[in-house]
Amino acid sequence: MSACTTTDILIVGAGPTGLYGAFCAGFRGLRTVVTDALPQPGGQIAALYPEKEIRDVAGLPGVIGRDFVAALLGQAATYEPQYLLGLQAVALDYSEAGRPRVTLADGHVVDAGAVILAAGIGAFTRALPAGEEFLGRGLSYFVPDPAAHAGHDVLIVGGGDSAVDWALALQPVARSVTLVHRRATFRAHAASVTALTGSGARIITDAVVEALSGNGTVQRAHVRVRGEPDLRVFPVDSVVAALGFASNLGPLAEWGLRLRRRSAVVDSRMRTNLDRVYAAGDITDYEGKVRLMSVGFGEVATAVNNAAVMLDPELSLSPGHSTDTV
Distance CA 155, CA 161 (A): 16
SS3 (DSSP) at 33: strand
- Is 89 annotated among the ligand-binding residues? yes
4 strand-pairing partners: 109
At 132 the three-state DSSP class reads: helix
Distance CA 120, CA 18 (A): 9
Query: For the chain, how far is it from start to end, CA to CA, in angstroms?
Result: 44
d(Cα 299, Cα 161) in Å, to the nearest integer?
Answer: 27
Strands 4-12 and 109-117: parallel
323 assigned binding-site residue = yes
How many C-beta atoms surround the C-beta of residue 311 within 10 A? 17
State yes or no: 219 annotated in a binding site: no
* Residue 103 β-bridge partners: 91, 109
Rounded to an integer, what is the distance from CA 160 to the centroid of its chain?
16
- Contact criterion met (CB below 8 Å) for 9 and 116: yes
17 among annotated binding-site residues = yes
Residue 322: how many other CB atoms lie within 10 Å: 12
Q: How far apart are alpha carbons 326 and 316 in whole angstroms? A: 20
> According to the annotation, is 49 in a ligand binding site?
yes
What is the residue type of 199? S
At residue 232, the 3 state secondary structure works out as strand
Listing DSSP states for 173-221 in one string gives TSSEEEEE-SSSS-SS-HHHHHHHHTTT-EEE-SEEEEEEE-SSS--EE
Sign of CA dihedral 96, 106, 127, 147: positive
Q: State the binding site.
A: 17, 36, 44, 49, 89, 124, 282, 323
Q: State the binding site for FAD.
A: 17, 36, 44, 49, 89, 124, 282, 323
